[in-house]
Amino acid sequence: MWHIGIDLHRRMLVMAAVKDDGEVIDPRRIECQDTAAILEAVEQLKPFRAVIEATGTYRWLYDLLSPHGTILLAHPLRLRAMIQRRAKTDKLDAQLLANLLRIDQIPLSYVPPKNYQQLRDLTRCRARLDIYGIGVFSALVIIAELGAGASGDARDPQRRCVAELPYADPQAFQREDCPGSDAHALRRGPTRLGSWRDFESAPPV
């Protein structure tokens, strides 16, 4: 049986393989968009087991390869705790995963069902939107404060430009739920997007 280690990145992956008897295939780099090439590579190694390190983008590859062989998910933190190396490249990482899989030393990570994975993705996206929204809100407040203090300054064209913005008054950015809030309170940003009850009552995706 072949044991395949896959070092997955956002745009490409590196695949290395080692056989039970020690035969090794040189690591191969494949673009993530080329799913036909990925399937062709694993078809030549059947029967096989493959391991992918758990990252934020592993699911599509897991679903792609699962019908063709046994796919395992490696826990990244436990994996780093096991291995201490100075040299680190994509090819070495893929080869290391393949060798650890061959001797059954992969620290496994939980693979949630598809419907649970969708819930995970939604909650993570929601958290990112919260963070980005607060950052944008704070930037708008700073711009408004700069514009309010720059209205009489004719020496700085940048401050004059800010002063001419249509929402240069900091009061324009007051939160609806805190109508009496001052500029200091505004910096705390908007409230979180809705509540968990709102999320639970949302229609399924």
Q: What is the pLDDT of residues 145-187, one digit of tens each?
A: 665 554 545 455 555 555 555 544 545 545 454 444 444 444 4
pTM: 0.61
CATH topology of domain 2-102: Nucleotidyltransferase; domain 5 (3.30.420)
| pLDDT reading at 135 higher than 70 | yes
3-state secondary structure the chain: CEEEEEEECCCEEEEEEEECCCCEEEEEEEECCCHHHHHHHHHCCCCEEEEEECCCCCHHHHHHHHHHCEEEEECHHHHHHHCCCCCCCHHHHHHHHHHHHHCCCCCECCCCCHHHHHHHHHHHHHHHHHHHHHHHHHHHHHHHHHHHHCCCCCCCHHHHHHHCCCCCCHHHHCCCCCCCCCHHHHCCCCCCCCCHHHHHCCCCC
For the CA atoms of the chain, what is the radius of gyration? 26
Report the pLDDT value the prediction gives residue 193, as an integer from 0 to 100: 42
Mean of pLDDT over the chain:
76
pLDDT at residue 179, rounded to an integer = 46
- Write the pLDDT tens digit of every residue in 14-52: 999 999 988 998 899 999 999 999 999 999 999 999 999
72 or 189, higher pLDDT: 72
Cβ–Cβ < 8 Å for 90, 53: no
Query: pLDDT tens digits, residue range 82-124?
Result: 777 666 788 888 999 999 999 999 999 888 888 888 888 888 8
Instruction: Check whether the bond before 27 is cis (ω within 30° of 0).
Output: no
Confidence of residue 194 (pLDDT cuts 50, 70, 90): very low
Q: CB-side exposure of 132: number of CA atoms within 13 Å?
A: 6
| Domain locations along the chain | 2-102, 114-200
